[in-house]
Amino acid sequence: MWFQARAEELHVGIEGPCRPALKAHPALRVRSTDTLEELAKSLTVAGVELRGPTGPKPRGQRRFHASYPRGNRLELVASPTG
């Protein structure tokens, strides 16, 4: 699976049999908390399920998890200073 946002790309591959990981997931850092909020709104409008993470927030980061159709999750993270 390939993800692209502007000039950034993330390529993820699997080996069979494929099943969603229970804990492992990629995390992507975004430029600012404003960008994070814009992404959350866009994903919600598109029908993507968003969840806040459990546990402590490292170094005051704001973040959320997005689940995509195959049951995996992606974490989006922004630090308070951008």
- Give me the torsion for CA of 42, 54, 20, 39, rounded to 10°: 10
Q: Where are the alpha helices (DSSP H) in 1-82?
A: 33-45
In a domain, 35, yes or no: yes
Number of domains in the chain: 1
Q: What is the mean pLDDT of residues 44-66?
A: 80
Query: 62 φ, ψ to 5°?
Result: -100, 140
- Range(s) of the domain holding residue 24: 20-78
In a domain, 10, yes or no: no
Mean pLDDT over each residue of the chain, to the nearest integer: 80
In a domain, 38, yes or no: yes
Query: 36 φ, ψ to 5°?
Result: -60, -45
Task: Give 16-33 pLDDT, tens digit per residue.
Answer: 777 777 777 888 888 888
**Confidence band, pLDDT 50/70/90 cuts, at residue 56:** low
